[in-house]
Structure 1
Amino acid sequence: MTEFQLISLPVELRSLRRWAAARGFSADEGRGLHHLLSETFGKGALQPFRLMALPGAASGVIYAYAQSDVTALKQVAQECALPDALAVCNLQELAGKTMPNAWREGRRLAFDLRTRPVKRLLKPAGVFPKGAEVDAFLVEALREPPEGNPEIDAVDRETVYRRWLVERLSDAARLELARMVSFERRAVLRGGQSREGPDVTWHGELTILDGGAFAERLAKGVGRHAAYGYGMLLLRPAR
């Protein structure tokens, strides 16, 4: 695949909340950020992305993968972005670096990853119609229990979500370890409807199996909702 960039963009959080509230996005931070980045840099230009901020902080940083470099992104923002959007983003501090487009097979890396572990149903299940987006843990619970074992809660939530993560990395990397460091139920707005689902952050380590596929997974994100703040693999050296 072609080269892509890792971008960092400082944002002023109070201004961000005001901007989102004025547009009706205050109930869904990810949707607000999606629109802010799309209107400022172009649809899908910074995707996947992740907002990192300490609790109670006045500012944070959006990290994202992009096909355009810093110069091109700044030019688009200066030509097209609205003034109130630029008041949220510190465009002068926009920074980036070129990411590898292939990685050495066997390389072990640590990662920080926020995910929304959901699945699309291939057939109706319980109250959910075919095609519904459902919590991966609930999908497991809706399955018929094995013969002679009526217990459906023998597997815990973290184990189910870890299996979901393994499936989504399998073409590119082998999951060596993964620890669920946060979990909450979060409602998001999609298609004019509010949908509640799991919001899970992982810390872990992986081994690259296919360098090209791994680069593609970085650029596209892990799982659904990569356009709304989920699925960005942030890397660091393994222990």
Structure 2
Amino acid sequence: MTLHLARIAIDVRALAGFAVERRLGDDDFGYALHAALVARFGDAAPRPFRFLPDHGSGPHLLGYVQDRAGFDDAAALPAVDTGLAAVFDGEPRLQAMPAAWRAGARYGFEVRVRPVVRFGKAVKAARRERAGAWLPGAGEIDANHAARERVARDGGDPDTVDRAAVYIDWLARRLADAATLDHADLRHFRRTRTLRNTHRSEGRRTRRVEGPDALLGGTLTVADPAAFAALLARGVGRHGGFGYGMLLLAPPGRA
């Protein structure tokens, strides 16, 4: 199935209203956009996606659509309410991505990621009362914080750990056999609070979690065309349905 790049204009004021009405507000509208996309396009909603609220051409969302026919069918239906209709400002535009990738092809890239590492139940229980533990109870921790802990545990100075190097290594590992990094840099970093679903015995709930939010960019080379296609479709790392993990590609050297 051919992957398509979707560009969807977003009305930020309407999105804010949608988030407030449904109590879905967080630092970056990631959860509100997730909910709005699913409500509007169902299973064919773009995922992963990237929200660009301050773009010079106007606020919009870029995302990868795997089911073009399903997306078109959903887009042809009227939105379930005026509030949802107002969020998506205009007709979506879709372009087909390459049907096949070439091993050895080089591309410039940019990706917004949540660089966290996960741990098992035993470690999770031990961390609950530890100061400085990221995302308590979530079973994941900032990759930089985990690297600092490893260095300290081995008797080293955690202040020698370089955040950019940690995140670039984290990215290289998640590209795995799909692509190799020729060059990468950390272009922006902050910590954000987002909403996430939890699945408990009393039913699904949302909770607010805080964690790293990093923008990485550089140049990569396709190693395995099939694996690279699969990587684009699923995204890099976790939280692909909430605005993270979308690999944006461009010719090498293009900003």
TM-score using structure 1 length: 0.89
Structure 1 residue identity aligned to 2:93: A
Instruction: Supply the distance in 2 between the matched residues of 1:166 and 1:89 (Cα, whole angstroms).
Output: 34
Segments of 4+ in structure 1 off by > 6 A? none
Q: Give the corresponding residue for 1:79.
A: 77
Q: 1:135 aligns with which of 134, 142, 145?
A: 142
State the superposition RMSD in angstroms: 2.2
Larger mean Cα displacement after TM superposition, 181-190 or 74-83:
74-83
SS in 1 for 2:64: strand
Q: What are the equivalent positions in structure 2 for 1:155-174 lying under 5 Å apart? A: 155-174=161-180
SS in 2 for 1:215: helix
Q: What are the equivalent positions in structure 2 for 1:27-46 lying under 5 Å apart? A: 27-28=26-27, 29-43=29-43, 45-46=45-46
Q: Give the corresponding residue for 1:48.
A: 48
Q: What are the equivalent positions in structure 2 for 1:11-30 lying under 5 Å apart? A: 11-28=10-27, 29-30=29-30
Structure 1 residue identity aligned to 2:167: Y
Instruction: Supply the distance in 1 between the matched residues of 2:137 and 2:20 (Cα, whole angstroms).
Output: 34
Structure 1 residue identity aligned to 2:10: V
- Percent sequence identity over matched residues? 37
Q: Is the 8 A contact 2:151 2:157 kept in 1?
A: no
Task: Measure how far apart 1:59 and its partner are.
Answer: 4.1
Larger mean Cα displacement after TM superposition, 227-236 or 134-143:
134-143
Instruction: Supply the distance in 2 between the matched residues of 1:34 and 1:164 (Cα, whole angstroms).
Output: 25
Instruction: Supply the distance in 1 between the matched residues of 2:225 and 2:102 (Cα, whole angstroms).
Output: 6
Q: Is the 8 A contact 2:44 2:71 kept in 1?
A: no
Task: Measure how far apart 1:44 and its partner are.
Answer: 5.7
Instruction: Please give the per-residue CA displacement for 1:132-171, whole angstroms capped at 9, x wherever unaligned.
Output: 1111111112226475x43223221111111100100122
Q: Give the corresponding residue for 1:6.
A: 5
Count of aligned residue pairs for this structure pair:
234
Task: Measure how far apart 1:24 and its partner are.
Answer: 0.7
Q: What are the equivalent positions in structure 2 for 1:144-183 lying under 5 Å apart? A: 145=152, 149-183=155-189
Q: Is the 8 A contact 2:52 2:61 kept in 1?
A: yes
SS in 2 for 1:238: coil
TM-score using structure 2 length: 0.84
Q: 1:228 aligns with which of 242, 249, 252?
A: 242
Q: Give the corresponding residue for 1:219.
A: 233
Instruction: Supply the distance in 1 between the matched residues of 2:153 and 2:219 (Cα, whole angstroms).
Output: 32
Residue ranges of structure 2 left out of the alignment (5+ in a row): 198-205
SS in 2 for 1:181: strand
Larger mean Cα displacement after TM superposition, 101-110 or 224-233:
101-110
Q: Give the corresponding residue for 2:200.
A: none
SS in 2 for 1:42: helix
Q: What are the equivalent positions in structure 2 for 1:188-199 lying under 5 Å apart? A: 188-191=194-197, 192-199=206-213
1:238 aligns with 2:236: no
Instruction: Please give the per-residue CA displacement for 1:168-221, whole angstroms capped at 9, x wherever unaligned.
Output: 012200011111111001011113222110000112110110111111101100
Q: Is the 8 A contact 1:137 1:161 kept in 2?
A: yes
| Structure-2 change in CA distance of 1:58 and 1:26 (3 Å) | farther
Q: Is the 8 A contact 1:14 1:58 kept in 2?
A: no
Q: 2:218 aligns with which of 204, 209, 213?
A: 204
Residue ranges of structure 1 left out of the alignment (5+ in a row): none
